[in-house]
Structure 1
């Protein structure tokens, strides 16, 4: 029996996996279906998560106007960066988030929550760019990260260059791979394919960085995630969220915001059911745009990357 997990036996269907594959109708974006009106702040667990600084927008605007060469106005978050112009774009609720936005915010989460680890938006594309699976393309991406010591691993994924979704691997106790698609468009087959590729990647990570690691040459002292069953496998449940009922996204531009919001809520240990409810709040994604640029701006100020020496007046964007 191979020491690697048998992928054909690893993925177990959740209740939602059996949901019928459906695509949004042509009038989806004009849907008038009822939304949850309870604001996220009504949940004590998230009251501080959705707070943002009202003056951040004007501070960023002033920073942006200082220099005609916007590339010189850059915030660095670990190995990721974002320009003042990109940061200010978040003030527009109709702007589609780019890789720069998502990578910067998920990198911020890596700094804020050491129990989680976020891979970049390019990871899954590189892993599967040849139309299949190629571990050697990303083998060195986690060279200095003990992923098997993390509680959750986040993988943002771009679907057909037009839509962001998030995969979250729960590495402790639950052994769950959650696929969070704010539009509810991903098919069961597509989700299973993503889950299978990620489990295969975990197998390869274990084989190349732990199992073959011996003596002083070993860079990782981690144990394999959880307990292995008698067949040398770890069972993961595949959880396709937002497959039943109305998905939370009702526009064509906020999928990247949902990816960042989902990651933040899970990093904060917010329960699955509460995340589902918060996502259905009609203003959740609009509020979280403000949270994103506030968090990144405050991070830059705390790390002395920006120096604002002027008084701003509140001018909330509509």
Structure 2
């Protein structure tokens, strides 16, 4: 992963002693538990599929075997294909959430609402509890936006590195508020209703506290992990503590095995 000077200056070495995630947070231990037999079955499957050009599919998203393997590599930066595949998997696993792919916000920011108006043709956004929007900022860092639809409505920008500027956060908020209003008015017009403007409070996570990412390549894993924990209805304050443990390396394996299990 290539990182900007601003981001590079924030790299640091974690001085905190490693603790056992399952001991501190037993309620999430099952999420991070990759069974040994599953790992063995996965390795057997890999041995049978020598052709690395083969792909697995979840809905319209695809991922090569090589891309699946790289999910487990400690120092690898996740590609949009890997992130989109896992977030699409969450859409199949949890009915109360909806995850967009990484192309959604890019098109919204560049082309306005009309460029993404059809993205929700088959999804009733205002019947969901949480909307996830992955964003690649400065071409070298992944962040996640979680939109909590139920009142009090919130837009939470989750940056595992704590590098999002106020200017960037404000731009994201304005774009997504505009999108939310357009979506709401579209539904209101279909139902012959008149609605009030949609508002939401903005929360920049890890803005005034230590961010959990201590390297220059695991941001993609972090946003997938944040989305999964939020989808599991884990409280945000608890999530902040969970991700400061050895959760990232564990979650790489979780993503790999879950995608393989679903696709197979």
Q: Deviations over 1:221-262 (max 9, x none)?
A: xx99xxx7xxx2343111100112321000111100000000
Q: Give the equivalent residue in structure 1 for 2:244.
A: 280
- Please give the root-mean-square deviation of Cα atoms over the aligned residues, in Å: 2.3
The 8 Å contact of residues 152 and 170 in structure 1, kept in 2 or not, is answered as: yes
1:138 aligns with 2:105: no
Q: Give the equivalent residue in structure 2 for 1:155.
A: 133
Q: Which has the higher contact order (CA 8 A, sep 6+)?
A: 1
The 8 Å contact of residues 57 and 91 in structure 1, kept in 2 or not, is answered as: no
1:179 to 147, 157, 160: 157
The 8 Å contact of residues 158 and 204 in structure 2, kept in 1 or not, is answered as: yes
CA distance in 2: counterparts of 1:32 and 1:250, whole angstroms: 6
Q: Give the equivalent residue in structure 1 for 2:229.
A: 265
Q: Give the equivalent residue in structure 2 for 1:315.
A: none
- TM-score, normalised to structure 1, is 0.75
1:299 aligns with 2:262: yes
Alignment of 1:1-318 (within 5 A): 26=9, 28-34=10-16, 37=19, 39=21, 41-57=23-39, 59-67=41-49, 69-72=51-54, 74-129=55-110, 134-208=112-186, 210-214=187-191, 232-281=196-245, 283-300=246-263, 305=264
More helix by share: 2
The 8 Å contact of residues 77 and 107 in structure 1, kept in 2 or not, is answered as: yes
Q: Which ranges in structure 2 are unaligned for 5 or more consecutive residues?
A: 1-5
SS of 2:117's equivalent?
A: coil
Q: Deviations over 1:268-302 (max 9, x none)?
A: 00001100101111x110111011111112212xx
SS of 1:49's equivalent?
A: helix
Cα 1:83–1:59 change in 2 (3 A) is: farther
Cα 1:158–1:239 change in 2 (3 A) is: same
Q: Deviations over 1:9-39 (max 9, x none)?
A: xxxxxxxxxxxxxx6673x434344367352
Aligned residue pair count: 259
CA distance in 1: counterparts of 2:259 and 2:23, whole angstroms: 21
CA distance in 1: counterparts of 2:18 and 2:209, whole angstroms: 13
Shift of 1:59: 4.1
Q: Which moved more, 1:46-55 or 1:193-202?
A: 46-55
SS of 1:141's equivalent?
A: helix
- TM-score, normalised to structure 2, is 0.89
The 8 Å contact of residues 180 and 198 in structure 2, kept in 1 or not, is answered as: no
Cα 1:34–1:245 change in 2 (3 A) is: farther
The 8 Å contact of residues 40 and 278 in structure 1, kept in 2 or not, is answered as: no
Q: Deviations over 1:77-99 (max 9, x none)?
A: 12212121111111211111111
SS of 2:56's equivalent?
A: strand
